[in-house]
Structure 1
Amino acid sequence: MIKLNNIIDIDGLKFENFNFIVKEDKVIIENNKENSVIEIKYNENKILKLLDSINRFTNLKLELNSLSEREILPFIESKGFTKTLWSPIGRAMHKYNMVQDGDRVAVGVSGGKDSLTVLNALIRIKKISGINFEIIPIHIHPVEEGSKYGEIVEYCKKMGLDLQVFETSLSKDIFENEEIKNPCFLCARIRRGLLYRVMREQNINKLALGHHKDDIIETFLMNVFYQGNINVMKPAYYSEEYGVTVIRPLSFVEEKDTIKYAKKLNLPILHNECPYEKSENSKRLRVKNLIKDLAKENEDIRSVMLNSIKDLLD
């Protein structure tokens, strides 16, 4: 992947058998192996289409460091995600009336595939719906992981947004304390508490999180198996304790589709270094693997399970 500030940056570039020449309204690609020349005309307002054409002819992947206002929506929507992403997101947001005019919506951007997908989804909704609401991306970052969030900051700028970063120390108080039996739960609660505090200080009334269909099902089964209750992760609810509404636009989206989307757009994933994430003792990982096994017999098992608890989600 080569990142560009402008298409002129590839003028004189040599890639495998190809030489690139950029003119005012076209890109000339010389194929030295086949002794042929391809000319691609382009418009300054449709650079993404040009990059797709270059990739199709040469397999060279190019990415712009910044997008014009009119290029953001085509970039976000990409191709092939209407059925798996945009339709289910639209259904969830409509069913639970997730955003209204005047809302100030914080997006909890962890840097994972799901949080970046939900950020893109909200940007898309704002551009196509006519609903006037504000999007405020916020990242809570453990200082133990160093300053590894630079690419997320740049990505948000590319989308026309400023990422707010708040650093915190978690490992010493949580993961190094052997008396704490469920460090993951406490870690998530502390991060959420920081988000709520920031929201209160900035008069932000809604919090968008990246939980998807798999998360909802897994959490329900974990509560049944290990807690003996049928509590669910709701697509939308009002927190009396913090005075904010929490929304989950990906509630009807399967994790495998956020993975495909993140790969297609080359989203700047901040890899989780938490030792508990893939631990054999992780209850969530056990439940996730159980669902995977069931899906081998019935590929629609996630939809079936979500439908079985639909009355608990409202």
Structure 2
Amino acid sequence: MIKINSIYDLNNYNFENFKFIINDNNVQINNSKEKCNITIEYNTNKILKTIETIEKLTGLKIQLSSISSDELLSFIENKGFSKTLWNPIGKAMHQYNMIEEGDRVAVGVSGGKDSLTVLNALVRIQKISKVNFEIIPIHIHPVEEGSKYGDIIEYCKNLGLTLQVFETTLSEMLFENKDIKNPCFLCARIRRGLLYRVMKEQNINKLALGHHKDDIIETFLLNVFYQGNMNVMKPKYISEEYGVTVIRPLAFVEEKDTIKYSKKLNLPILPNECPYETSDNSRRLKVKNIIKEISQENPEIRSVILNSIKELLY
């Protein structure tokens, strides 16, 4: 992948058997292997479309350092995601009345595919709806992992947002204490507590999280199998302890679709360094594999499970 500030940064750039020549209103691609030239016309208001064409023709992955406000919506929506992302997100937002006039919405940006997808979704809603609300992206970062969030800061700037970063010693608290039996639960609780504290200090009334359909059904089955209860991860609820509303706009979106979306847009995903995420002892991973196996026989199993517990989601 190459990062560029403008299309002119590609001038005289070589990639495999391609060489790019940039003129005032077109991009010339010289293919030394096929001994042919391709010319692409462009204008300054449609740079993203030009980049998409270049990627298709050459395979070169290009990331633009800044996106104009005119093209931002086009970049976020992309193509082919109406049915899998925007329609189910819109349905969840409407069904649970997630966003209201004057809301100040914090977005828990972990740096993963789901939280970045939620961030994009809220920016999209902000642009296409008549509801006035504010978006405040917040990142809780373990100091042990170093300062690896620079790309996310830049990405938020492209969206017209400022990422707030709060560093913590989560890894030291969780993984050096062998008496902690469920570090994943405690990790989530600590992160959430930090977010709630920041929200209270800044008078933020809602928190958007990146949990999707798979997370909801996996959590439900985990509670049934291991806790003997039917507690669920609700698309919207009020935290009585902190007095803030938590929303999950991806409640009807499947994980496979956030994966496709994040890859298509080359989102700046932080590497996941959690040792429990892929551990053989991970109960969530076991449940995830069970669902994956059943889905081979019934591809709609996730929707079937979610529909069976819909009354519990309110």
* Interval containing the TM-score (normalised by the shorter chain): over 0.9
Question: Within the alignment, does 1:29 sit opposite 2:29 as a pair?
Answer: yes
Answering whether residue 298 of structure 2 is matched by residue 311 of structure 1, we say: no
Which of 168-177 and 265-274 deviates more? 168-177
- Where do residues 140-151 of structure 1 align in structure 2 (5 Å cutoff)? 140-151=140-151
Structure 2: how far apart are the matches of 1:183 and 1:263? 29
Measure how far apart 1:2 and its partner are.
1.0
* TM-superposed deviation, 1:32: 2.7
1:271 Cα offset (Å): 1.4
Please state if 1:50 is matched with 2:50: yes
Residue type matched to 1:85 in 2? L
Mapping for residues 254-269 of structure 1, pairs under 5 Å:
254-269=254-269
**1:275-304 CA-partner distances (Å, limit 9, x unpaired):** 111111111111111111111110000000
Q: Could you tell me which residue of structure 2 aligns to residue 131 of structure 1?
A: 131
The correspondence of residues 201-212 of structure 1 with structure 2, limited to 5 A, is: 201-212=201-212
| C-alpha deviation, 1:18, in angstroms | 2.3
1:171-222, Cα deviation, whole Å (9 max, x unpaired): 2222211222111111110110000000000000000000000000000011
Does the C-alpha gap of structure 1 residues 58 and 173 become closer, same or farther in structure 2, counting only changes over 3 Å? closer
1:294 counterpart residue number: 294
Alignment-derived partner of residue 85 in structure 1: 85
Alignment of 1:234-249 (within 5 A): 234-249=234-249
Q: CA deviation at 1:142?
A: 0.7
Q: Amino acid of the residue matched to residue 131 of structure 2?
A: I
Q: Which whole-Å CA distance do the structure 2 matches of 1:110 and 1:173 have between them? A: 18
What are the residue-to-residue correspondences of 1:58-207 with 2, within 5 Å? 58-207=58-207
Gap runs ≥5 in structure 2: none
Match of 2:9 in 1: 9
The DSSP-based 3-state class of the residue aligned with 1:55 is helix
Instruction: Provide the C-alpha distance between the structure 2 equivalents of 1:257 and 1:177, rounded to a whole number of angstroms.
Output: 36
Range that drifts further, 14-23 or 37-46 = 14-23
Shift of 1:14: 2.0
My pick for the range that moved more, 133-142 or 178-187, is: 178-187
- How far residue 229 of structure 1 moved from its aligned partner, in angstroms, is 0.8
Structure 1 portions without partners, runs of 5+: none
Secondary structure of the corresponding residue to residue 63 of structure 1:
strand
2:222 aligned partner: 222
Letter in 2 for 1:38: I
Aligned: 1:18 with 2:55: no
SS at structure 2 position matched to 1:100: coil
CA distance in 1, matches of 2:286, 2:260: 23
Tell me, in whole angstroms, the C-alpha distance in 2 between the residues paired with 1:276 and 1:196. Answer: 25
Deviation at 1:16, TM superposition (A): 2.5
The normalised TM-score by structure 2 is 0.98
Q: Partners in 2 of 1:154 and 1:289 — Cα distance?
A: 35
1:37, CA displacement in angstroms?
Answer: 2.3
CA distance in 2: counterparts of 1:186 and 1:18, whole angstroms = 51
User: What's the Cα RMSD here?
Assistant: 1.0
**1:100 shift after superposition:** 1.1
Q: Percent sequence identity over matched residues?
A: 73
One-letter code aligned to 2:264: K
Secondary structure of 1:44 counterpart: coil
The letter for the 1-side match of 2:68 is S
Q: Distance in 2 between matches of 1:125 and 1:151?
A: 23
Q: Secondary structure of the equivalent of 1:28?
A: strand
Q: Which amino acid aligns with 1:159?
A: L
Letter in 2 for 1:77: E
Amino acid at match of 1:140: I
Structure 2 partner of 1:282: 282
Q: Within 1, Cα distance between the matches of 2:18 and 2:221?
A: 54
Distance 1:145 1:133 in 2: 33
Mapped partners of 2:14, 2:270: distance in 1: 31
Following superposition, the deviation at residue 20 of structure 1 comes to: 1.5
Which moved further from structure 2: 197-206 or 176-185?
Answer: 176-185
Question: Counterparts of 1:211 and 1:93 in 2: how far apart (Å)?
Answer: 14
Give the secondary structure class of the aligned counterpart of 1:272. Answer: coil
Q: Return closer, same or farther for 1:242/1:16 CA change in 2, 3 Å cut-off.
A: same
Measure how far apart 1:87 and its partner are: 0.5
Give deviations 1:128-161, integer Å, cap 9, x for gaps: 1121111000000011111111111111111111
Give the AA of the match of 1:71. Answer: E
